[in-house]
Structure 1
């Protein structure tokens, strides 16, 4: 009986190894601090660390390429054995991908200049402003567009939006709690320069795989992430990158 159990475990291990070797994964990400960016020519970031851990734990053959967000988003909808990170899981995107995550928990909020005297507590209040600039590829742009916000203005990158905010061309900044500090720092600002108006939505970051990637491979990645959460590895990564790490759900030990 023990021999049969050992043989079963060996066959399962061989199956996982074959799965990892069979699929050559192409993973896409954008340059977006602190999740993924180049530092002295080396790709780094919170999400990059998580993905590298999952590559190691699954034994996958994978490469990471930094591309504009729109390109990566469309490539993963067209090509097999591709993935995109970090991406917020929304109702509109749900059926487009296979999901692994979450790799981080966050929320998206409206911010104003500290001392500006604004009192924005709802989308009804947001409608009073002449322009609300948001990167067109962002989930928050999708959300605000779906809500029928008439003063929504599409910009190509988060840097464009933050620069407009710095120079007073817009009064409100839309930002994720995961990236706010880095977005402001790129423009010589800090969190002390802004004040929270109201939180728009909770936003969890995921890895999205193409629909025509082997579901068993995607499941293996989810299992590896669950284990990374259980053994504290994910929290250790968060602590390296976030001054106030968002708590992740604690998973029960594997049976």
Structure 2
């Protein structure tokens, strides 16, 4: 009887549904006709198929997803930028995307900045509180840093001239601007704050073999070209060097 109970427990654990949280963050993830869509969603859906997982993807506010994955087993959050501060908080599968977080200004403003000391001289800098870049800039003791609830709040402030600089991932810039009726041609690139790699972040309570199975499936997507196909579908002008690095399997 004890052996039967152990077997039942093992089967139950193996069948535990995996809950995958993501936010509205085009083009990585968003709702289209009521269903999750986007580049990162396409990657995750293919990983679900390859691993044979029982799983569902939910679009939720970032803070809710972050809290759930910190507290519950068999959960994951994507796309999550991997930083030293976050490293011990999750198990990581990835990267699934590679970009740069960059400062931008309006071309018509004539603003030029080359470093963070220049940024300090330009008044309020609005950055979403949940972003890794907010964490980094707070560590740099940016006295003009102003945390806002969402990227949309930051964009509105930028569009209305309440802030002179925009901080954004180059991969998501076009989607963010489109929501405000803007286009990248209106902007002037300034300097890169940091490179960023986006991952699927699993809760620390999730079984390590499950996490390893997902990493193996992602590595296979690199080798067979499917990750590149998805990536180029969503980012047709992707930087070849960055993409080659993303697709490399150690």
Q: When the two structures are superposed, what TM-score results if normalisation uses the length of structure 2?
A: 0.91
Q: Is the 8 A contact 2:92 2:200 kept in 1?
A: yes
Aligned to 1:64: 57
Q: Is the 8 A contact 2:219 2:249 kept in 1?
A: no
Following the alignment from structure 2 to structure 1, what is the Cα–Cα distance between the partners of residues 61 and 147?
16
Following the alignment from structure 1 to structure 2, what is the Cα–Cα distance between the partners of residues 105 and 226?
15
In structure 1, runs of 5+ residues without a counterpart are: 1-17
In structure 2, runs of 5+ residues without a counterpart are: 1-10
Deviations 1:196-236 (A, max 9, x none): 11000000000000001000000000000000011111111
Stretches (4+) displaced over 4 A:
18-21
Q: Is the 8 A contact 2:222 2:249 kept in 1?
A: no
Q: How many residues align?
A: 236
1:40 is displaced (CA, Å) by: 2.1
Distance change >3 Å, CA 60–CA 248, structure 1 → 2: farther
Does 1:162 pair with 2:155? yes
1:119 is displaced (CA, Å) by: 1.3
Aligned to 1:133: 126
Q: What does 1:150-229 correspond to in 2, within 5 Å?
A: 150-229=143-222
Aligned to 2:27: 34
Following the alignment from structure 2 to structure 1, what is the Cα–Cα distance between the partners of residues 236 and 105?
21
1:97 is displaced (CA, Å) by: 0.1
Following the alignment from structure 1 to structure 2, what is the Cα–Cα distance between the partners of residues 19 and 46?
32
Q: When the two structures are superposed, what TM-score results if normalisation uses the length of structure 1?
A: 0.89
Q: Is the 8 A contact 1:19 1:217 kept in 2?
A: no
Following the alignment from structure 2 to structure 1, what is the Cα–Cα distance between the partners of residues 103 and 193?
7
Does 1:106 pair with 2:99? yes
Following the alignment from structure 2 to structure 1, what is the Cα–Cα distance between the partners of residues 83 and 171?
17
Other structure's SS at 1:64 match: strand
Following the alignment from structure 1 to structure 2, what is the Cα–Cα distance between the partners of residues 31 and 170?
23
Other structure's SS at 1:153 match: strand
Q: 2:83 aligns with which of 85, 90, 99?
A: 90
1:244 is displaced (CA, Å) by: 1.6
Q: Is the 8 A contact 1:76 1:84 kept in 2?
A: yes
Other structure's SS at 1:140 match: helix
Q: CA RMSD in A?
A: 1.5
